[in-house]
Amino acid sequence: MANYLLVVRHGPVAPAAEDILSALSRRHPREVLDRPLGGGWALSWVARDAAADVDARDGTLFSGFAVDDENERIVFGASGHSRLPAEDPGAEDLPGCYTRVRWDQQTLSVSTDLYRSMSMFVSTEPGLVLVSDSAYVLMSLRRRLGLQCTVDATVADSLRWGNSMSAQLMGSRTLVKEISYVPVGQRVRLSLARGPIRSEVQRRPLREVFQVGSDDYAAEVRTAAVRIASLVHTIAGGGPQHARLSLSGGKDSRICLAAALLSPVARETARFSCTNMSEQHRRDFEVVSALAEEFRFPLGTTETAEDRNQQLWRVANPVGLWYSDNSLNYYALKLQAYGLRAKGRFAVAGYGSELYKGNYGLRPVTAVVDSIARTQPAVAESVRAVCEEVLHEIGISPNDPLSAEWHYLALRNALHGGRFTPVTKFGLRPLQQRNLVGLSKLTPDRYPNRMTGPRNIPDDLLLLLSPALATRPFDRAEKDRSPREVVDRLRRLGGPVSSADLTSYRVFGEAEDVADGPVPSLMSFVDQDRLRGRLTRAVVAPLVDAAADVVEASALATTWAALVEQARSDVRDSAVPLGQARGVPGRVLALAEVLR
């Protein structure tokens, strides 16, 4: 996720930082932008087309796109951001995929999109603030500056829990003590008037960020359904294949399909595909094919393989990109190694409904920790320390009945959901609706009338958008609903949404104004001679062996022995997918980079 690097400096550390930035600027002049700030501070912004990220009104950098459902608008790039009214707060806590830096003479603040699709890490010393979506870039930069990079022993110990929950960061602490992840809802803030100080993370309770809009459940879920469909409708109106839906036999992608088919524009211009065509996913393809035939939408494309290949660009060094973008925050060895040349073609995904139906069993984090303690008591205490610390930072008690789901919102939903950002910013997650997040975190005694529970929110969205699609078979029979069930529930919710309810959002800026893809100057922080190749077993196995040697020569050799052994085995076992969700080989690769 090495899309950007912000370096803010003052005082004795500034010359060393400026030497490094000057060297980057000489090699990649379009990727480094410098600005003086108040109080003797200076700012450098490193990104793919750095100058294009400056809002014409100055005092703002904006890179990416934001969706403002409440005001029915989409903002593309700094050019779009600059067209908003001067008094407008702009991209403030909005979905999308963006980074925003704002400053005046007194204060500088850094934030990214509401659900943290664009990651944010911070490292700070007196007179120095480093912010990036890549913890690896920050680690490499600290080393070039002669600053410490210390292994966080508690985080390292927590990674010995071999679960998908620990396959990405479980807290704001990372493997490097001096580098922190900034979770959902939090911002980096620096007082420019106080001389060479450290920045701070501005904490906000997530309950305030995701407040319940009203106690009218039917109205809230209808509002969300209309917004989902209106957003897909607007994106599809941008041109052929601007809305690209990858369908499965499950419920989440069907909600996106229902939204698209509600819009005459999307039905005509969207691209519908089903990539689950392997034998193990045969049921997905059967379900989607049946839907395509019945509901008369085109499945797949008539383009030739050569035409499709010409639309793509491919990552030159996937291994290097995995290290720069994933290694210190998302350990699974998986990476999208290609992108679309055309701008504004959005991958519309059903990702996000886990925010409602639950990903960790609708339970407190303490229950998760207790389950670990039955077999790994020492590891459980490390997991507890990391998880409870971040929960306190976001204003949630670890004993809250749904604290595990708040944890999911703050971390896994962001890191797993933002996996597209190494190659593109054009990922759309319309199911992530702020008002529904607030409703889903209520305890049963506070459910408003007609709310039956958070797990039923996706069902309600689907039947509002398309009662017919809601009654068709899914990949698993337990998901199916009878026509009578759908009709009864629909009556309670006030009837279906119609195409007349949709609106076309106003668009500020152009999709072409959004620069994305790997940034060469940031990739230079990776040793691409050592870390090079495609993500295949033949390439990765020697890297795992070398990393294992580093770990075995460290003070963590004994405690990590079993994990190292498993990593060596997994990377060679064809029965274990290289990109398997627990990411054991990736954990060893990550730790070794910090230890080197």
Q: Got the DSSP string for 159-178?
A: TTS-SGGGSB--SSB-SBTT
Say what the pLDDT of residue 335 is. Answer: 93
Q: What is the pTM of this model?
A: 0.97
**Can you list the positions of beta strands (E) in 408-508?**
427-428, 506-508
Cα angle 473-474-479, degrees, rounded to a multiple of 5: 100
- Single-letter amino acid, residue 187: R
Q: Where are the domains of the chain?
A: 4-204, 215-356+416-494, 536-596
Q: Which helix (H) or strand (E) holds 19?
A: helix 14-27
Residue where the block lists tokens 């969706």: 67
496 neighbors 463 (Cβ within 8 angstroms)? yes
Could you list the mean pLDDT of each consecutive 10-residue stretch along the chain, which spans 596 residues?
94 97 98 96 98 90 97 96 79 92 96 98 98 99 98 99 96 99 98 94 96 94 99 97 96 98 97 79 92 96 81 95 97 94 95 94 97 98 99 98 98 96 96 97 95 97 99 96 98 98 97 94 97 97 98 98 97 94 96 98
Closest CA relative to residue 331, chosen from 183, 178, 158:
158
Domain 4-204, classified CATH 2.40.70, yes or no: no
Say what the pLDDT of residue 1 is. Answer: 59
- Single-letter amino acid, residue 229: A
- State the alpha helices, DSSP H only, in 342-456: 354-357, 365-373, 377-393, 403-410, 412-417, 434-440
Say what the pLDDT of residue 552 is. Answer: 98
Q: Say how far apart CA 321 and CA 341 lie, in whole Å.
A: 18
Q: Which helix (H) or strand (E) holds 586?
A: helix 584-595
Say what the pLDDT of residue 581 is. Answer: 82
- Single-letter amino acid, residue 116: R
- Single-letter amino acid, residue 260: A
Q: Say how far apart CA 126 and CA 130 lie, in whole Å.
A: 11
- The residues, any chain, with a CB within 8 Å of residue 274's CB and separated by 6 or more, are 246, 247, 248, 284, 285, 288, 289, 299, 300
Q: Say how far apart CA 177 and CA 152 lie, in whole Å.
A: 5
Q: Say how far apart CA 564 and CA 152 lie, in whole Å.
A: 18
Paired sense of beta strands 107-112 and 121-125, if any: unpaired
CATH number of 215-356+416-494: 3.40.50
